[in-house]
Amino acid sequence: MSKIKDEVNILEEKEIMSFKDEDGNKVDFEAVAKIYLEEQGYLLLSPLEEESEDMFAFRIDVDENGDEELNLVEDDTEFEEIKKEYKKLLY
């Protein structure tokens, strides 16, 4: 198995994505960066309507049909690794 180096891409063009929250309300996010840790891809999203610096990490998984799906990263250790890679780019 070949190992892909860790990589961070700041997205230059504004990309807006919409999701439904647990109450069924539409929430818009701006894609901020795409990060690769070894062979796993992640997308960092920031809420558009909130005046906060919150950011959410989504793992880019591929289903059995080959389609990409985004799954919220809920594991603290995984989230910290993503955050560490993102901070390397900023500083």
Q: State pLDDT tens for residues 36-90.
A: 998 899 999 988 876 767 889 999 999 999 999 999 999 999 999 999 988 887 7
Q: What average pLDDT score do residues 24-36 get? A: 89
- Position 67 scores a pLDDT of 92
Residue 88's pLDDT is: 84
Tell me the whole-structure pTM to 2 decimals: 0.74
Backbone angles phi and psi of 31, in degrees to 5: -75, 125
